[in-house]
Amino acid sequence: MIDFHNSTQNVGDEEVNTVVMENDYGFSTLTVEAGTNGFHGGDYGHGSRIYLSFKHADGLFDFESSDGHVTITSGGDAEVRAIIETLRFAISILDLQIQQPFNCRKARKELKL
């Protein structure tokens, strides 16, 4: 079962509209939240913002972060498929959001969700 909803996150001094996808694969639930406020023509001080978050509910995926390095590990064919689908969703949302204005209904239609 896949569930979607909109959210917002603060990134620096900007509010970013995000889309959350929670996907229950039967063996594990993976959640990804992705969003950007689009291109603004600058660096971190004046440019766009991005928010990308992954969460798992059942311990089948290991997420580690240290010194600016993020690692996701797991094992199993179904887990590989779950990670691929989750990353594709995140990339698709970010691609759609840089096409201003962002419309969640349009995004769901374009992503065939």
What pLDDT, in 10s, does the model give residues 49-85? 889 998 887 777 888 888 888 888 888 888 888 888 8
Residue 83 near residue 74, CB atoms below 8 Å: yes
- H-run or E-run covering 105: helix 104-110
Domain that residue 61 falls in: 2-110
Span 41-58, pLDDT tens digits: 777 777 788 899 988 877
Torsion of CA 67, 78, 4, 94, to 10 degrees: 50
Structural domain total, the chain: 1
Span 17-37, pLDDT tens digits: 899 988 887 777 888 999 988
Instruction: Map tokens 């959001």 to a residue.
Output: 97
